Structures are given as C-alpha cells and as structure tokens.
Copies of this chain bind each other. A is one copy, B any other.
C-alpha cells in the first residue's frame, strides 16, 4: 500500500489524447512526465515491453505520473489522437506504422525515420522495417521544419547530437559559409539511457572523460543530410564524448569558413536567425550546459577567431529535454496548433 498522492492531470476538456509507447526508458518516461503536466494534452496511457503493471511513478518517482505501465494493445488505438514512440531503432518502425494505420499522429524518438535516404539508413542501421513510410516522415527539428511538422503524420524526432549541432550550424550553412567543420560533442551519462554497463556505473563513468564511436557515430549522416538540405554538402567530422554528469550536452563546432567573416557579421547572422525563436538563445559568452538543464532551450555562442580565421560555435542543450523529449512536445504543440511553448516554458 502506498500513501503517495499522485499529482493530478489538469488538462482542458476535449484535449487531444496521447499515449507514450516505451515509457520505461529515460526518454519515454520524461515524455510522459511532460504530457502529464501539459495543460492541453491528455496522457491516456503509458506502455512498455517490460515492467507491465508497475506504476510509472514507482519507476520514476520524480516524474509523478500516476499511470500503470501497460502492454501496447492495438484495439484501444482508435481512441487516441497521437503517440510518442520511444523504442530502439528497427523496433520503432513497425509500431509507428501500426499507430499511423489506426489514425494516430506519431512523434518517433528513434532513428527509423530521421534519414531521408533509405540507402544511408541501411548502411548504418541495417534493413529498414518499413521503408514505404520514409516519404511521409518529417524531420522534427522544429526550428528548421516547423511548417512541414504542422501537417505531418510522422515526425522523426532528431537525435540529441544533431539537435545541438544543427541549431549551431544552420545559420552558417544557410549562408553558404561552411567549407569544413569539426564537431566535438560532450554529453552526460543519461545519454546512454537506462543501460546498465561499464559506461554508466558511477565508479567507472565517474572521474572519466571518454571518446566513443570514433569516426563512426550514427548521428553523422543525420547531420550531413540536414546540412545538405541547407545546400551545404560536405563530410562532417563528428565526435562524441561521455563526461560525468547526468543531463547536459555541448556541441563545440569548429568551422573553416568559405570566406572571412567579421565578428559583427557573425553576431548579426546568429541574432537574425533566431530572433523569433522561443527556444533558441544567442548569448554573448560561452554557455554552460547547466544554464539549460531541464529546459527546452538551446543556448548558442558564436565567435570568430582572428588568429586562425575559424568560426567557433558552442551549442548547449539538455540532451534529454531539447535533445529528446521536450522537443517531442514542442513538435506535438506544432502538430496540434497549440502555442509552441505550451507546457514547456
């Protein structure tokens, strides 16, 4: 018997009904939390392939979501308007397809629908389970594809590294200013998810800095494809590192520009690019990831290095929030015509 009084959902009458499929992992659980406290959505179910019957607020007490984890059952799908799917890649696509067929609009947190090119997908992830749906999917970096997201049936939520990297590089890419780029990214241990192994044990991950997937990270083609969509076609040097914090991610971008760019021009470029964005902040000093912890904000600092001629961009997000679950909510807000900041500010 538990005496814990779950917080109540307080959503508007007739609010869209949403489920989270795969709510036992870090991303799905946070998505459920954000929906639970959202004024304009109703979280009607959380499902999981394990832990069925256990309450989500037992598994993640801080999130205070008063629902038990269920098996995903097709017969109840009619009644829902949308779903956030937080499955591993390859497992996600069939679920996304089933949900779509029953009329739900889906934000998929996996990699299954992020890449436009099936060939690229299969080079990095293996055979695609539902390639016929690739065309319908919209890449869900809200700031880049807002209009398409509004009408999409399937939104492929970006990877956390592409989110930080692309927000940092998009103004330069659009202006045709990137001749070459190195992205050195650092991320907290929550980026490894609810995995129990040497990469997450506090006595191994603590007091450590660890480069991983050297010259082989699956987020590389995702960044390249999106830069190409901004007419910047080039191979990207992307490198990830694990550092000993929980939530937070920094993409340090070193750009060799196509021409000399002054400090003033650089500032104007970034400020203009994001002047009307509610969740991107161009700042005048290097941001720490702590500044954006547990928010949907991305903080960007750009600098021109007169010594080397390079342009440096530092882009800070919370990998679990803007990098994953709160961006999923931002996309849902757009998809359902709500204020983009609803439930997130």
Contacts and interface: CB of A to CB of B under 8 A. Distances in A.
A50 to B, nearest CB: 13
Interface string A239-264: 10101111111101010100000000
A212 to B, nearest CB: 6
Interface in A262-303: 271, 274-275, 278, 281-284, 286-295, 299, 301, 303
Contact of A243 (B186, B235, B294, B307): B186
A208 B289 contact: yes
Contacts of A210: 286, 288-290
Contacts of A286: 210-212, 214
Contacts of A247: 203, 207
A303 B214 contact: yes
Contacts of A206: 189, 202, 245-246
A249 to B, nearest CB: 8
Given A209-B245, A209-B316, A214-B312, A201 B201 contact: yes
Contact of A239 (B203, B211, B252, B278): B252
Given A215-B307, A291-B62, A271 B3 contact: yes
Contact of A254 (B184, B291, B301, B304): B184
Given A26-B203, A200-B203, A211-B252, 7 more contacts: A61-B290, A62-B295, A186-B243, A189-B201, A203-B246, A207-B293, A237-B305
Interface of A: 1-5, 7, 26, 61-62, 180, 182, 184, 186, 188-190, 194, 196-198, 200-212, 214-215, 220, 235-237, 239, 241, 243-250, 252, 254, 256, 271, 274-275, 278, 281-284, 286-295, 299, 301, 303-310, 312, 314, 316, 345
23 contacts: A2-B283, A61-B299, A62-B290, A186-B243, A188-B207, A196-B196, A196-B197, A196-B200, A200-B201, A203-B246, A203-B247, A207-B245, A207-B248, A208-B248, A208-B290, A209-B243, A209-B245, A211-B301, A215-B306, A235-B309, A243-B243, A244-B245, A294-B294
